Structure 1
Amino acid sequence: MGSDLFPGFTQQYINTSQGVSIFVRTLIDQTKPPLLLLHGFPQTHVEFHKIVPYLRPHFSVVLTDLRGYGASSVVPSANGSAYSKRLMAQDCVQVMTALGFEKFSVVRHDRGARVAYRLAFDNPEILHKVVVIDIIPTSAMYGGFGDVNAGLRAYHWLFLAQPEPFPERMIQSVGNGRLFLEHTFATWTA
């Protein structure tokens, strides 16, 4: 699970009050301010392995996998409500509290950035700073769908928001998700 990419880090699972087991990798130095890093779709905490060496001298670094990703719990959900950004933000607060941090900064990418928005709206008093990367604010994203081509380029946002189990079954139906991921990566990269 990427341990060779994070020398000196410890790993553990922290259980939330909702019964979700969140995978956490930490490098904590009590003399340095806490920084929580959260990944995007379809990554895990491992996406930050090249950035962490630059952060280590300055921060106590906390990496997690969002619920349903990587080594964190997959939560049964009849309608996707178990994956709301509010619940994911609550997971983050509980992880940081369990680690002894009452206030922290957060860097979030993509889907994790949407969790950061929710975290900041619900708990502004516990955040020093919030950095969001590679995300369009939600209202601007939906407002920009007036153009068919824009909607087609961002199909995955609406596709993954469909009621369960439609996206899951569609992704699994061809090559156990391989076709979906290959198409997604090919259209997002050169």
Structure 2
Amino acid sequence: MNFQHVRVPVADNVELSAAIAGSGSPIVLLHGFPQTHLMWRHVAADLATDHTVICPDLRGYGASDKPAGDGPDTYSKRTMAADVVALARALGQDRFALAGHDRGALVAIRAGLDHPENVTHLASLDVLPTLDMWDVMHGVSAQVGFHLYLMAQPPGLPERMIAGASDEFFGHFLDLWTNDPKAIPDDVRRVYLDASRAAIPSIVADYRASAGVDVEHDRADRAAGRTLTMPVTVLQQDWGAMLGFDAAGLWKAWAPDLRHVPVTCGHFMAEEDPALVTAELRELLTR
């Protein structure tokens, strides 16, 4: 399947880079950390046989623009979700399914809450909503998320620390979070490391927003009783059993129409078990 690569203006002085292929009902696939849209290469090729598939690099990542993260909203998930909706609309898709992994899943969740008129179906791969993520991190078990705390610090120190050993830092997660090292071959790993090395300030700004403004947005939605009104599928490692919380229960509070699927592969499931991810996305699109 041949993908066309485009750059699309989505906000003032911000363009997203995206790969597009196929025809039929649209689905947008959002990548996670420390990756680019390339993580969807297997799943996207399959879905593009009968769907219009749009795979962008998020604001601040890959080949997309990386505005300076001076303001608290520059890398809020609300802003990044608005980017995605603007991208889809510019490509002629006012209503679309949306799937996200890791950071992209947080953007997808925010898009589903803020733009329910645009998002028809939603899939989240291996995260909790931001507010719940912080709530379950406690005690020594929180060491698994040390990077969340590092990148939540004020601008300056985190960026310098990561820049001092960027390949080791980003490579640590590629190694730690996969059960099958062959799922991310050397050439793909180099793409991820090169892209992350070039995006340290914006990646840190994205994470910093998740310890600030993103939490405020989630709290406001929870207080107002807002939920995801579309069908939702969550694919997730069994973090609840490992860290002592009910992942499905936390998700059910946000997504009344929920399919929660524990997986046995590692975090990078679209690369480790693309057949499972593709099958679950196809099942979601029938609901």
- TM-score (norm. length: structure 1): 0.87
> What residue number does 1:4 align with?
none
**Residue 21 in 1 paired to residue 5 in 2?**
no
Q: One-letter code of the match for 1:24? A: A
The number of aligned residues is 179
1:81 and 1:127 mapped to 2: Cα distance?
22
* Alignment deviations for residues 55-109 of structure 1 (CA, whole Å, 9 cap, x no partner): 1222100010001111001111225541111111011011001001110001100
> What residue number does 2:212 align with?
none
Higher relative contact order (CA 8 A, sep 6+): 2
Structure showing the higher helix proportion among its residues = 2
2:77 and 2:85 mapped to 1: Cα distance?
12
Aligned partners of 1:78 and 1:164 also within 8 Å = no
1:88 and 1:54 mapped to 2: Cα distance?
26
**Residue 149 in 1 paired to residue 136 in 2?**
no
Aligned partners of 2:98 and 2:123 also within 8 Å = yes
Aligned partners of 2:8 and 2:16 also within 8 Å = yes
2:156 aligns with one of 146, 162, 165? 165
> What residue number does 1:75 align with?
67
Structure 1 portions without partners, runs of 5+ = 1-6
1:37 and 1:189 mapped to 2: Cα distance?
20
**Residue 101 in 1 paired to residue 89 in 2?**
no
Instruction: Tell me by how many angstroms 1:28 deviates.
Output: 4.1
2:100 and 2:69 mapped to 1: Cα distance?
24
**Residue 183 in 1 paired to residue 177 in 2?**
no
Instruction: Tell me by how many angstroms 1:10 deviates.
Output: 0.8
**Residue 57 in 1 paired to residue 46 in 2?**
no
Percent identity reads 35
1:87 aligns with one of 79, 82, 98? 79
1:9 aligns with one of 3, 10, 16? 3
Aligned partners of 1:44 and 1:69 also within 8 Å = yes
Which deviates the most, 73-82 or 88-97?
A: 73-82
Q: One-letter code of the match for 1:168? A: E
SS in 2 for 1:100: coil
Structure 2 portions without partners, runs of 5+ = 180-287
1:17 and 1:185 mapped to 2: Cα distance?
31
SS in 2 for 1:62: strand
CA RMSD after TM alignment = 1.6
2:176 and 2:4 mapped to 1: Cα distance?
36
Aligned partners of 2:47 and 2:53 also within 8 Å = yes
